[in-house]
Amino acid sequence: MYLNLGAPLAFFRVKARMLVGFIAMKYPIINFKFDQSLDQDVAWMFYNNQEFGGTHFWSERALVYHPVLQNMDRVKGPKKFLNQYIADFYSSHANELKLLGDDIVEGFQQVQDSYFSLVDKIFKGYPWPRKEFTGCFSIFDFCPRFLDWGGFQVSLFDKKEHQLYVIFHEMVHFIFYDYAQINFPDTLGQMDTDEGKFWDLAEVFNVVVQSLDDFKRLQGKVDSMGYPDHKSLILKGKNLWAKNPDVRQWILDMMA
């Protein structure tokens, strides 16, 4: 059964547009919505690629919330089992999910102006690559981003602080990747954005800036940031930023 949760989208879209006129023109809009099909596709992807960057996504970000999915290894049709479970969960928890979605939107609204202003300061007025982005609620905690269509996922069941962290994190990815590809077309502009050195660079940059006091004041205390495999790069990135908080120079120094 597919549960049509399209009605809340209009509600979230209106709420997400409640900005001061100047802010609305200068900064992008995030349209929050439910997307059950995306949740099914992403969950299946992580079931088949369970560990990345030293993090075991399936056990830490799926089974923690949905232990019944441990049975997937023992059924004949694991994809069908997964899709049916997600469809049933959306159907049986519709009211709860909508309320959780409301809370995420309201939490972001409280800090969005300060957040966009902070990112604008870090990137020295570099324009956002899109006028609108899409934040998709998820019953998991995978939280991928999709550069090609400007979308990302945020978990409905996470703590408020980590939900804000994820929204901030994915949005910084969009502007950082665009900045890097435009300013370094012959190097970063030719690299894969989903793995390898460019992906490492983007993830480390996010940890560096989201560790700044200004970010911490907006997102609250987050227990851990970054991937275990990036520990040494994160230390290097923080030291370089402390010496010169300039995005272009930071990229050059990290790539040297």
Helices and strands (H, E) in the chain, number of each type: 12, 6
* pLDDT (0 to 100) of residue 17: 41
Order the strands of the 151-155 sheet from edge to edge. 29-34, 132-138, 151-155, 145-146
Kindly write down the DSSP assignment for every residue of 177-220, as one continuous string.
HHHHHHH-TTTGGGS-SSSSHHHHHHHHHHHHHHTSHHHHHHH-
Q: Does position 10 have pLDDT exceeding 50, yes or no?
A: no
This prediction's pTM: 0.89
Instruction: Please state, rounded to an integer, the average pLDDT across all residues of the chain.
Output: 90
Give the C-alpha separation, 159 to 63, whole Å. 17
21-65 pLDDT per residue, tens: 334 457 999 999 999 999 999 999 999 987 777 777 899 899 999
Distance CA 204, CA 235 (A): 9
Look at residue 48 and give its three-state secondary structure: helix
> What is the per-residue pLDDT across 170-184, written as a single tens digit (0 to 9) for each?
999 999 999 999 999
The answer, yes or no, to whether residue 221 has pLDDT greater than 90, is no
Tell me if residue 56 falls in helix, strand or coil.
Answer: strand
